Amino acid sequence: MAAVPDNLPRDGQSILALAARSMFELFSNISQGMFLVDRSGTIVWVSEGYKRFLPALGFSSVDQFVGHPVEDVVPNTQMRRVLETGRPILIDLLTNRAGTFVVSRLPLRDDATGELIGAIGIVLFDQPETTLQPLIHKFANLQRDLDDARRELARQRRTKYTLASFIGTSPAAVEVKRQARRAAQSASPVLLLGETGTGKELLAHAIHAASPRAGGPLVSVNIAAVPDTLLEAEFFGVAPGAYTGADRKGRDGKFKLADGGTLFLDEIGDMPPSLQPKLLRALQEGEIEPLGSNRVVPFDARVIAATSRDLAALVREGRFREDLYYRLNVLPIRVPPLRERRGDIAALVEAISEDMALRNGIHPPELDPQALEVLAAQPWRGNIRELRNVLEQAALRCESDRIAADDLMVLLRESIGAAVPPSDVAPPLRPAASGLRPLAEQVAELEQQAIRAALAHTGGNKLAAARLLGISRATLYERLPQLTENRTFA
């Protein structure tokens, strides 16, 4: 019972005492039952409403119930904890032989001294599954929504691609997959370098999927898409109440979310200089400090970074920290542009066409042999992303399911202002009398054309030609015996 302050006027004390008695009587009447225990935990009083639970608890009369320690007669009770701590348990579920109840437990104190003298137990509801059905239903819906959101988040953080998703059998594509496969077995940072649209994000997913961390999360951050003022919170998280409007529970950053898995930092070249030292420290020490916090949080995440910018040039210009560059550039993988792997265009067209058909519920578009030649001749400044865009436009604009070379030339001229005819790049792919030759034969011919062009460009320097093609010198030497004109570059 609440203590009555001595400094209240006489009529005020009387009103407060009357209110206390009224509240006790009100709880006794509206609740399903009440009982009192003294300081030692012995039951000293039972309300009329509570008496109906006694038979279920194994007692035939109140005398058998009153005078016993509360834990001996009320299974699973928490009244002893209230007596020991002096703190109330306002809402709780109690289950025993008598059923399941929603209960409340309150400490009682002496009016004069404030000393704990006992506690009161109140049965609020004796059939919670019926009485609280709307609340339980709402809670169940919230729990289901939370579970669905967690499953969706886990699905999105799983890898979408594997190394098999990187389409291509050209020397450049094979070399990239070889390097990615080796990088997957290491815990060191990987730096993916290449133009926009070459498949750097796909490779990041593939490296994670082939690594020992494949069972952990893959968390991606596109640095160019996040405002500089929010990047620190996005990376390192926010402590509870770090600033006005911050979540009272705090928020984990991407480093912590990637714990046990892989963190993919896309467009790392756009990292603001002010945040680069903190990123470097996180990579070196394996720990982060959330925004507004004084504690250090360890993390275990493998880092894969990607950029379409020249990081070495940014270092020379003083726009990217040299020490951070060396920390990231441990396992660099150069992803070649599409113009350096023209032999893969036929396979890419087939894969993209099938994906378009699945997404749109249509038959995959077919390309004339001459249309394939047109695609192989283009510079593809937007790389695979541009190739997909052209194929989607062509499929939507063509009246039939078969795309002709003229249709592509018109579309390319409208899209980029010019289109390279096949004869300006390489000899056209000659169809056999019965139709287009086998894909492997076309790929081999395009590969030989690319090697000839590289050797011609470098004046016969095989090492420079291999670098230009994005392959090793050993791979180049393997291909040289297949050239019919290789004596020119001996």
Three-state DSSP class for 32? coil
Distance CA 430, CA 119 (A): 95
Instruction: Report the pLDDT value the prediction gives residue 7, as an integer from 0 to 100.
Output: 54
Contact of 479 with 451, CB cutoff 8 Å = yes
Q: What is the pLDDT of residue 378?
A: 87
pLDDT of 427:
46
Rounded Cα distance, 361 and 270, in Å: 38
Contact status, residue 106 vs residue 81, Cβ threshold 8 Å: no
Show the tokens assigned to 48.
């009329």
What tokens appear for 471 in the block?
């392959």
Residue 489 is predicted with a pLDDT of 35
pLDDT of residue 426: 45
Residues 93/99, Cβ–Cβ less than 8 Å = no
The residues facing 332 across adjacent strands are 191
Distance of CA 90 to the CA centre of its chain: 38
Boundaries of every domain in the chain? 10-125, 163-336, 339-482
Which tokens is 266 given?
């896309």
Q: How many CB atoms lie within 10 A of CB 271?
A: 24
Under DSSP, is residue 370 helix (H, G, I), strand (E, B) or coil? Answer: helix
At 485 the pLDDT is 42
pLDDT of residue 433: 41
H/E stretch holding 124 reads strand 116-125
Instruction: Please give the Cα distance from 26 to 193 (Å, whole number).
Output: 74
DSSP 8-state secondary structure symbol assigned to residue 69:
B
Instruction: Say what the pLDDT of residue 483 is.
Output: 57
Query: Hey, what are 46's tokens?
Result: 């039972």
Q: Classify domain 163-336 at the CATH topology level.
A: Rossmann fold (3.40.50)
pLDDT mean values, one per 10 residues, the chain (490 residues): 51 65 72 91 91 90 92 91 92 85 89 88 79 68 74 63 90 93 94 94 94 91 89 87 61 90 94 92 90 86 94 92 94 94 91 87 83 88 91 85 85 70 50 50 70 75 75 71 45
pLDDT of the residue at 10: 54
Q: What is the CB neighbour count within 10 angstroms for residue 432?
A: 10
Domain 339-482, CATH among 3.30.1490.20, 3.40.50.1100, 1.10.560.10, 1.10.8.60? 1.10.8.60
- Single-letter code of the amino acid located at 391: L
**Residues 192/203, Cβ–Cβ less than 8 Å:** yes
Strand intervals (E) in 309-390: 331-334, 366-367
What's residue 305's pLDDT? 96
Superfamily of domain 10-125: PAS domain (3.30.450.20)
Query: What would the two tokens of residue 321 be?
Result: 């920290």
* pTM (two decimals): 0.58
